[in-house]
Structure 1
Amino acid sequence: MDLITIIIGMVCLGIGAVLGFVFSKSSLNSKAKFIINDAKKNAENLIEKATVQAEAVKKEKHLQAKEKFLELKSQHDADIQQREKKMQEAEKRIKDKEHKLNDELSKTGKLEKDLDRQIADYGKKHEILERKQQELDTITAQKVEILEKISGYSAEDAKRELVEAMKAEAKTKAQAHVQSIMEEANLNAKQEAKKIVIQTIQRIGTEQAIENSVSVFNIESDEVKGRIIGREGRNIRALEAATGVEIIVDDTPEAILLSCFDPVRREIARLSLHRLVTDGRIHPARIEEVVEKTRKHIEEEIIEVGKRTIIDLGIHGLHPELVKIVGRMKYRSSYGQNLLQHSREVANIAATMAAELGLNVKLAKRAGLLHDIGKVPEQESELPHALLGMQWAEKFGENPEVVNAIGAHHDEVEMTSLLSPIIQVADGISGARPGARRQVLESYIQRLKDLEAAALSFDGVSSAYAIQAGRELRVMVESGKVNDEQSAQLSYDISEKIQNELTYPGQVRITVIRETRAVNIAR
């Protein structure tokens, strides 16, 4: 009974649930319909609003487009007007040019007509001239026939005689003219030559170089002398045997004398001693090694000096052996004058003189540098240095003018070109210039002293200075004793005294300087 009751209760519950579901679903359908209807109304309202807004936007955009169209149209009209204006201006310019061209064409037409008329006139004049020329030729021929009958000579014979007479007359006048030119040249030759020499001396200068046969090797202390001498003198003997130089170690403090007539050997000995003393290892084997290295170094330096010299002088294409000989001149001297410096000086002087005379400057410089190469032979020769140098220059393919200049600069051979006397004169100038050689130095200094003494002998002169190798004398006078007018007279008097009493090369300028000084002391 209970089971049936439970089953019935459960069935009732199921039926109630089904009925509740059905009722709830129907209520949901009614709600859904209400919501859908409400949404439809809202959608219709939105569509109406959107339609109204779209119409408003459409009208606004239509108005904006219309305004833009009007604006573009006005701008387009303005552009068209501007273009039309430019076209009108261009048309006006073209019309003006057409008018000008028409005017030019009309002028050209007139000129052509005038030219044609002038050509016609010239043609007529030419015909008249030809006719007159024919008449003149006929008259001339008739006169020639008459003259031939009268003189008994044909026209060709008369012409030949006249030409011969004119030749003789012209030759006589030319000889007289040449004679006058030669006389004038002889009068001016010495003066012009002196002028060229003086200008050359003034333009070329060099430092004084005086050498001798002894070099001094300085040492830090006398203790080094013992190390150089060595045990029982073996070091100094080895050094003398390796270098060929006499080494004199005496009581002279901190000095050793190197004596040799050959400056190259003397320089090798000096450098070798310097290396040995610096290194500290002094023994016969080391001495021979250092001397050999130094000798190679000197040979390389000789070549380098030769190359640098020819580069400085602008000389090209010199044979390597001649370059080496030029480098060796650095270690030679002639009458106390360094041979390389002397040769460079002669090259510059010769080049200057050649330029003044319009000759080949490069050849003159080349001959000047090489003129004394015969003084640096590696082996003694019995030939004079000029002939030996000439043989070397010829052997190494130098220009014949250069070869002759080298051989003839002491008149050993005959001069065959204008370059030879120039080298001879340049060599003389370089050797004779003030201070170049020992024997002229004292006379040069004495000449300068005499110039100063000549000025100091006048009253009112406070001091005098010879400058520019004696080419100028500056005289200081006392302002209280000499006035401006007297200064000019004093300058003249000093020049007269120098001319009359002294001997000097070239000319001397006398400059008198007068100044007023006021001195006070503040205490």
Structure 2
Amino acid sequence: MSPIVTGLLGLIPGLILGWLFVKKRSQAEAEKTAQEHQQNIEQLEADQAERLEALREEIKSEQDTEEEALKGQIAEVKERASALAEEEKSLKAARQKLNSELGRVQSQTESMTRKEDQLQRQIESMEAREGELETELERVAGLTRDEALKQLEEELRDRAHERAAAELRRIQQQGQEELREASAALLAKAVFRYGGEVIQEITTTAVHLPSDDLKGRIIGREGRNIQSFEEATGVDVIIDDTPGIITLSSFSPLRRLIAHEAMTRLLRDGRIHPTRIEESVAKVRKAVDRSLRQKGEEAAAEVGVQGLDGAVLDLLGKLSIHQVNGQNQLHMALSAARLAERLAAELDLNPKPCRRAALLSLIGCAADHQMEGSTADITVALARRHGESKKVLAALEDLTTESGPRSTTGIVVQLATKLAASRPGVQSEQLAESIERLEALEQMALEEEGVRQAHVLQAGTEIRVLVDPAEVSEGKLMALAQRLVRKIEDRADRLGEVQVHVVRETRVTETAM
């Protein structure tokens, strides 16, 4: 047999066996699938049966719940009906009780009306009686009702003023003591802290520069310019980091004035070198001397003093740049001359020597660094050197003696100089202006109700007010003083502290026959 036939014969049994195996397997799978379908159907039927049973139970439960709710609602309706019946019974009882109360209230109202009428009649009777008593009281007391009320009101007001014034006085005294202690401490601290600054302000003068670049030109090469300026003027030139300012320091106000004018001219001219500095200082010194001489001549002419030596006029002019205790010495000398003239006229003395001596009483201040001795001694020496009269010299010598003046002129001059030095503001104002200011203080006091007289004392530092005791009571004095103080603070052109004294005096005069 050929190999092909042999292969085919061997393949046929295999195919038959494979077909049988596949067929058997397919039958087994079909049976298995049928069983699974049958199980699924049975499971589905069981599930549907369970669902139907659960639905049946749920419907039954809901029906039971609704029945219970209906039963509860029926019971609640029955209870409400019973409660309404009870309320209706109670309302009927309350209505009956209210009707009885209304009847009782009506009877009480009628009784109250009768009592009110009776009380009204009693009130009318009492008012009539009160009018009779008031008329009788006015007849006995001699005062009407309004007058009595006004008198009582005034007495109460006076008592209140007295108590308020006493309390205010106590508070003021306590406040003044505390203020005095605090001010003393503050003044001590201020003097300690700022004493150096005050000295610096008195002995220095500032020069403002257009640009800080000028500081280098003022110093010059190797400091030649500043050394030349200091030698020519006798002042110290202080150049520091302060922008736009240099400081001129010297104890002499004349030197500072010359240095300030010379530096101003040099800065304006722009040419700063030793030769130009010396020329500028020389020109400024001559110009300042002429200006001071002119001021001295104007001062002498202002008070009518003639025939003064040129050197004395120079010294008078130099007084205009001297400050002592914050007061310009030339103004102070002019004020002393005016006061001496007025005092001499009041005493029927010759005013010329008094006025002349008072004007020259301070010229020693302008030369005290050139001569030895006190200001008064230097003044006498200068007056004697420049040919003043014996009366003027005697008056000036009286200012140097500790035992007091020996001549009438000396008394007048000494009194005038003390007044000029002590009166606030006298150096800067004319006598007429001062008198007007004092009269204004008196007028302010006289404007107050009940003020009889007012006197200004101590050159305007004290005002004494006399009141009418019939119009101003004791309790109103403090209030009046406070009003005057506020008025002076608000309106017066005052200089320094002004004390207000209010005096109430009662005088009784009888005549013995």
Q: How does the TM-score come out when normalised to structure 1? A: 0.44
Higher relative contact order structure (alpha carbons within 8 Å, sequence separation ≥ 6) = 2
Instruction: Give the TM-score of the pair, scaled to structure 2.
Output: 0.45
